[in-house]
Amino acid sequence: MTDVKLTLNMIGERAQGAIVAEVVKYGYTVLIPFGEAHRYDMVVEKGGKFLRLQCKAGRYSNGGINFNTCSSNWYNKTRKRYTREEIDYFAVYCEYTEKVYLVPVEEVGGVGGTLRVEPPANNQTKGVRWAEDFEMRKVIERE
């Protein structure tokens, strides 16, 4: 069998599938919107509480999980940041850690976010987002 070169869409679909599986494991109902015009990829519901999730594939590099926090329009060469009015959480799946992380949209800015798996090389502690604190199981316990 030949190795398949994954496209960006395929990577995103794999992440979304892993996120759906993890959400269902915790007893949530998953609602997928029809069409592509929505800022969220799915809505999850449990006990009458709804959360809008934007799914992202996390890329492990240098002790951190990096993920995009904006959408890109390749045709217009523009980026658009997600807001609290559009989504509640970034749901980030990282194949390296095999975990799903829920990051509140207001926790990250700019065009990308990082969750640290290992301490930074410069020993910085201020402003570090530890991946462990955003693991789905921990976040949903606080919800």
Question: Is 105 within the bounds of a domain?
Answer: yes
Question: Is 3 within the bounds of a domain?
Answer: no
Most confident range, picked from 28-32, 106-110, 126-130, 136-140: 28-32
CATH, residue 132: 3.40.1350.10
At 18-62, the pLDDT tens digits run 999 999 999 999 999 998 889 999 999 999 999 999 999 999 999
Q: Could you give the number of structural domains in the chain?
A: 1
Residue 34: give the domain boundaries: 8-142
Question: Is 108 within the bounds of a domain?
Answer: yes
Cα three-residue angle 133-134-137, rounded to 5 degrees: 100
Question: Is 1 within the bounds of a domain?
Answer: no
Confidence of residue 2 (pLDDT cuts 50, 70, 90): low
Q: What is the pLDDT of residue 73?
A: 75
